[in-house]
Structure 1
Amino acid sequence: MKQENSEEMAEYIDRAYKQCTTEQERDYVEKKITKILKTLAKNKTTLNWKALPLPLLRKHKATPLVGRSTKTEKSYFRLTTEPDPKDIRPLPVLKLAMKNIEKHRKKKNYNYVLDQLRAVRQDITLQNIENAFAVYVYETNIRVAIECDELDQYAQCYSCLESFYSSFPQYTQNKEEFVSYHLLYLALIHNTAELNRVFRKTTRAGPLGKAAEFVVATLQANTNRQAKLALQIENPAKYLVAKIMTAEREI
């Protein structure tokens, strides 16, 4: 880990604990940070600690935060103080914001889209929104991150989405699609241990099956099979496939 990233991580952890006033809150923060670190180690990736919201202690309070902002467009900003409801958008406004984001996504305004998605995710987290809409936001963010090669953001979002899928089985309609992306991502970063774990829990049907077969062909260095399967894989997975094949050619 680079020294700069280590310093940012230490600063984040320090800020996270400084907001605690009870042992219950310290235990909660410790569990959240441990989960983040395990995910980073598992995916062999790094994190923008400066942009990561602090663990939300409001979960321990009786009254949840409900935003009052009516802005459909809002750039992401890093919180350094207690969130103000007038700056946070409630669920109905967030749904309108996502409609606006989808319009810009079609125009491939990716810098704008990624910034807006981060702001939406922040408002979701601050209000502890855990429903089908939250899953839709993370799924959309993952697709966009793959399309524009923002794999650090992909890794962050997939970790959260995986947690949603585990906690709320009723929202897993698209799970196979996103597991297929994760198989390709793990192959790209050469995380064989995690690949084996995911393979053990993976079916070989539909888009997931094609991705799994492509990964197996990649691991076996079967370039002919790899090339044939690449033609059968659709976007946005095709972006990951292209990166894997480019990396293989450069070795």
Structure 2
Amino acid sequence: MSKSKGTSDHDWPESLKGFVERSFKQCSPRAIPSLEKQLQQIISSAKNNKKLYEINWDKRPLPKACSMVFYPPGSKAAHAAKKTNASVPAPAVNTFEDFDSAERKERRLRRFQKEAEAEAAKRSASENATLKISPTHHINDVHDWDADTIVGTCSRLEKNYLRLTSAPDPAQVRPLPVLRQTLELLKRKWVRESNYAYICDQFKSMRQDLTVQRITNNFTVEVYELHARIALETNDLGEYNQCQTQLKQLYSMGLSGHSMEFLAYRILYFLYTRNKADIIAALAAMTPEERQDPAVRHALSVRKAVATGDYHSFFKLYVAAPNMAGYLMDNFVDRERCLALQKMCKAFRPKLKLAIIASELAFEDVESCVKFLTDLNIATTSEGEHLEAIDMKAAYPHAVAAMQKYTVVDIKGQI
């Protein structure tokens, strides 16, 4: 239905009046308060959206407060429902008859009309007030973030990280030129002092200053990349993953950096967490050019070796890991050693020399291999003397038991 321009705002369509009447007819007395609220919301919403004369009220389902199912007027189902209702004895108290009186109908309609209009007026006033109060509110209800962006005035190169609990103070935020000087200072201090607790705190403070000023450029990428590498070097996977997550977004914006290097790290991290779904997603999103990058190609080879159980290739790749991939592989190399040892225990019987095991599992020397096996409760000595070979049959159950601690991975800062 369409409303003509000359129609008063206080007039309701006849179909809406019929909708309200049907709602009360099919509602139990106890549900009347709920019905009134629901009707008020329905009518108010229709009026605000200027749909009062467009909604087909004859076919609109009745509010949930109504206990009976609504059937369109004139349908066979409605006729059957009328016959069923007619056969039900009338209650002793004349409640429904009172609700159906013409005078009561008119009063209810007027009340809901007033309440709906009052609700619409209240909502409109609230929206207008919001528009006037908020200086950053656009005509299309889009927030103007540029109006909230600050430019820092702090000139200190070093500043401790503090979690923000209120709006940032420009006097406590370093602008981009100062942040560039800070980065150079932190590079020198890391090489000279290697104090990770201090360096991590300073980098987090830098990242915060970049964030509150919405600085997203190549310098931002440099800060996150350097912090990620230092975190990898100190095995702080929590901070590394926070940086990696942000770097993924920055690379997607087209900013320059070492995206191939960190794509390789992401694949290795997924191997550490055994996150098959993310590995598949990463592989599906890769371009042919990315697959040809040496670092990415190495990570893909590691993935293949892990997936196929090719421990010989895995440990060769571990020794030849490019960039800082070795630091990530350190987190799951012992797990792969236990798996490899299980296979070696089945393949080589009755004994296998320690020197061969140490070489195959990529240990730096036999002593490191002996320590690893001893930690697994595998006998490496006999009567106080070091053995040259290991009893592989006796070692097998210990290798299997060792895998239990790798069933759950401590995921820090999941990407």
- TM > 0.5 fold call: yes
Would the aligned equivalents of 1:69 and 1:86 in 2 still touch at CA under 8 Å? yes
Instruction: Report percent identity of matched pairs.
Output: 31
CA displacement 1:109-139 (0-9 Å, x = unmatched): 2111111110000000000001000011111
Give the match for residue 46 of structure 1: none
Q: Deviation above 3 Å: which 4+ runs of structure 1?
A: none
State which structure, 1 or 2, has the greater radius of gyration over its C-alpha atoms. Answer: 2
1:73 CA drift (Å): 0.8
Residue 180, structure 1, aligned to residue 264, structure 2: yes
Task: Give 1:75's aligned amino acid.
Answer: N
1:197 paired to 2:281: yes
Q: Aligned partners of 1:71 and 1:237: how far apart in 2?
A: 35
For residues 41-91 of structure 1, give each alpha carbon's deviation from its aligned partner in whole angstroms, at most 9, with x where no partner exists.
xxxxxxxxxxxxxxxx9x624262010111111111011111111100000
Q: Superposition pairs for residues 83-232 of structure 1, below 5 Å?
A: 83-106=168-191, 107-167=193-253, 169=254, 171-202=255-286, 203-232=291-320
Give the CA deviation at 1:244. 1.6
Higher mean C-alpha displacement, 67-76 vs 203-212: 203-212
Q: Give 5+ residue unaligned stretches, structure 1.
A: 1-20, 26-56
Q: Which has the higher helix share?
A: 1
2:330 matched to which residue of 1?
242
How far apart are residue 173 of structure 1 and its match? 4.0
Conservation of the 8 A alpha-carbon contact between 1:183 and 1:211 = yes
Match of residue 68 from structure 1: 153
Paired residue secondary structure (1:137): helix
TM-score, length-scaled by structure 2: 0.45
**Contact conserved, 1:204 with 1:210, CA < 8 A, in 2?**
no
What is the root-mean-square deviation of aligned Cα atoms in Å? Answer: 2.0
Asked if the contact 1:204/1:212 (under 8 Å) is kept, the reply is: no
Give ranges in structure 2 of 5+ residues lacking alignment.
1-132, 138-142, 339-401, 404-415
**Mapping of residues 29-44 of structure 1, within 5 Å:** none
Change (3 A) 1:61 1:161: same
Identify the structure with bigger relative contact order (alpha carbons < 8 Å, sequence gap 6+).
Answer: 1
Amino acid at match of 1:223: Y
The answer for the alignment partner of 1:52 in structure 2 is none
Contact preservation (8 Å) 1:141, 1:154 = yes
Tell me if structure 1 keeps the 8 A contact 2:263–2:296: yes
* Cα 1:172/1:198, change in 2 over 3 Å: farther
Counterpart among 136, 157, 165 of residue 80 in structure 1: 165
TM-score, length-scaled by structure 1: 0.73
SS of equivalent to 1:243: coil
Distance 1:241 1:77, change over 3 A: same
SS, match of residue 147 in structure 2: coil
* 1:94 partner letter: L
